[in-house]
Amino acid sequence: MTPTNSRRERPAKPALSREWIIAETIAIARRDGLDRATMRRVAQALDTGQSSLYVYVANTAELHTAVLDELVGSALPESGAPVASGAWRSDLEALLASYADVLFAFPGLARAALVLTPTGPNMLRLHDRLIGLMIDGGIEPARAAWGATLLVQNVTASAAEHSTPTSTDIDAPGDPDADWSALTDAVRSADPAVAPHLAAQADAVLSGTPAQRSTWMIGVLLAGIASTPVPGGTIS
């Protein structure tokens, strides 16, 4: 209502707040990738000075962590419906898949997640659900507790490998196509004298779709978690 003549016909400059900053960062990240969602750009989009952001967020890393947490929150299914016995495993896979979907949906998010320390409430809820589902599956609680980290870490890492880099840049570092072909070339041209096993297994190394590898990976982790006791020895 106040007759502020905001630039560019913005629908009236909203009051600055942590929530608004995060929302705008998400908007930019969706469009241009998280790498482009810099303090300066976010400030500009909010029609304010970059220094103003520091009233609400500590620094870029903290802002990006908050963005990750917010997005994970929006992907988490509402509070856990009771798990039909036997369904824990497919529920767990679905949960990890929706986490992976978020990472894929925002260019640059997976790579950032790899390097951020995610302590937001939604990330904790994700861990909580994973632990709960593993316990439902008969996995010893202490192993489930450690295992959740392992699951999240691996899903994040494989999303980072296959997700879009940051934008429309040609040959951006981290371009998955370029990376993949660099890898195939390297493996295919491995010298059997220096890397005999790799040369012999080249087809195996390069085989499988991302989905197949991801399914296998989760299977590996769950089987390993179920069969490997945590040190200190609770009754297994």
Partner DNA sequence: ACCTGAACACCGTTCAAGT
Cβ 204 to a second copy shortest distance, Å: 4
Residue 236 as a binder of a second copy (CB under 8 A): the answer is no
Closer by beta carbon to a second copy, 15 or else 82: 82
- Helix, strand and coil content of the chain, in percent to the nearest 5, comes to 65, 0, 35
Of 23, 30, 45, 48, the one binding DNA by CB under 7 A: 48
Alpha carbon distances (Å) from 225 to 56, 88, 158, 220:
40, 15, 19, 8
Residue 15 as a binder of DNA (CB under 7 A): the answer is yes
Of 61, 77, 94, 101, the one binding a second copy by CB under 8 A: 61
- Of the candidates 116, 78, 107, the one whose C-alpha atom is nearest the C-alpha of residue 95 is 78
- Residue type at position 101: D
Crossing angle of helices 60-75 and 88-105, rounded to 10°: 130
40 binds, among DNA, a second copy, none (CB under 5 to 8 A by kind): DNA
Rounded to whole angstroms, the Cα distance separating 93 from 83 reads 13
Q: Is 207 buried (19+), middle (13-18) or exposed (0-12) by CB count in 10 A?
A: exposed
Residue 219 as a binder of a second copy (CB under 8 A): the answer is yes
Which residues would be at the binding site for DNA (CB under 7 A)?
15-16, 36, 38-41, 48-52, 54-56, 59-61, 173
Under the rule (CB under 8 A), what is the footprint of a second copy? 59-62, 111, 114-115, 117, 119-121, 124-125, 127-129, 131-132, 135, 141-142, 144-150, 153-154, 157, 160-161, 173-174, 179, 182-183, 185-187, 190, 194-198, 200-201, 204-205, 207-208, 212-213, 215-217, 219-225, 227-228, 230-232
